[in-house]
Structure 1
């Protein structure tokens, strides 16, 4: 299975850090966020990677090159400076991706065991959900016996981790351009075509300077490893 790391966004909430450095190259524990994610994916056997580029994308490509330093093979999907949002970015990269493919947000910090993900889940998508963090107490979706459900049902609601496996069929009615992923997922969930799992280990989205500092402290506590 090929994996895609979403790295095209502007990182507005991380300003002023992102005024000169793209979010994926911000460091925690002495290494860029995206380098840590590449290392985790390679360790899980996912060496063919696609990275989308938008805001300050040249800096990312110059830093990572072809991925040889980490035993990876990186292909870049270039987008406009303003980027195509999550859905549009994945759709543009589909020609470079396996079916299904793993997609990970570039601002995720986690010790999730990627090697344990199902390689060929049924349906349109398979999502990793996590307990709701303090900044997102309402969550996104519910989970019942491995099936993702919309919020508002009797089961507890959890937060989408930004880690998902997607069938190309999820995008079958899409056209090139900027669009979000969430409406596609909600449509698939309404059709009963999205499976999922709950992960209770360490996870954080590095969306603010405070969370970046917290991840840095966590890495130092762990001796530098997620």
Structure 2
């Protein structure tokens, strides 16, 4: 099964760090954020990767090359202007042909200790989302996870979408290319019972600000010395 790392955002909240460096290449714990993702994907058996990019994307290609240094194969999906999550996936779909139409997608600006081998196609539906407890900066959450594993837009207790998912290409059938967000597509699928979820109890961070990047750097540096 193939995996896509979303790396096309401008990282405006990370300025001034991202004025000259694309966010996926910002270092934490001695390695760029995106390299941590590549290593985790490789460890879980994902060796064919697709990376989209826009802002300073040539730096990403120069830094990672064809992926052989990390034991993977990388194909790139360059975007002139960021196409949002779903738009980027739509453009990259021809590169994501794989096992029964399923592929993994991971946001490039997160940190996690989720075991990616848990991303196995569900018995039914078009999407499998990994959800976690709401961080302080996102207390309202995103989606509700029922006891039967179904995910819905509303519920008594909403959890936060980690940006880790397994998606089926049929989720995007008939959609024209262009800038498009993923959340409305997922919500529409939820109305048909086509989205399931996994609850992640471990570590997860949205690396959206310089302060959170510094926090992650300290965390990784401490753990490497312990």
Calculate the TM-score normalised by the size of structure 1. 0.95
State the match for 2:199 in structure 1.
198
Q: CA, structure 1 residues 130+193, in 2 after alignment: closer, same or farther (shift >3 Å)?
A: same
Q: Cα offset for 1:120? A: 5.0
State the match for 1:179 in structure 2.
180
State the match for 2:18 in structure 1.
18
State the match for 1:140 in structure 2.
142
Q: Cα offset for 1:119? A: 3.7
Superposed CA RMSD in Å reads 1.3
Q: Cα offset for 1:221? A: 2.1
1:29/1:224 contact within 8 Å kept: no
2:79 counterpart of 1:79: yes
Q: CA, structure 1 residues 28+134, in 2 after alignment: closer, same or farther (shift >3 Å)?
A: same
State the match for 2:190 in structure 1.
189
Structure 1 CA distance for aligned equivalents of residues 216 and 159 of structure 2: 21
SS for the counterpart of 1:160 is strand
1:102/1:163 contact within 8 Å kept: yes
2:33/2:108 contact within 8 Å kept: yes
Calculate the TM-score normalised by the size of structure 2. 0.95
SS for the counterpart of 1:223 is helix
Q: CA, structure 1 residues 224+194, in 2 after alignment: closer, same or farther (shift >3 Å)?
A: farther
State the match for 2:52 in structure 1.
52
Matches within 5 A, 1:86-125: 86-97=85-96, 98=98, 99-119=101-121, 121-125=123-127
Q: Cα offset for 1:53? A: 1.4
- The answer for unaligned runs of 5 or more in structure 2 is none
Structure 1 CA distance for aligned equivalents of residues 176 and 92 of structure 2: 13
- The answer for unaligned runs of 5 or more in structure 1 is none
1:9/1:54 contact within 8 Å kept: yes
Q: Cα offset for 1:122? A: 2.2
Structure 1 CA distance for aligned equivalents of residues 22 and 61 of structure 2: 11
2:45 counterpart of 1:39: no
Structure 1 ranges of 4+ moved more than 6 A: none
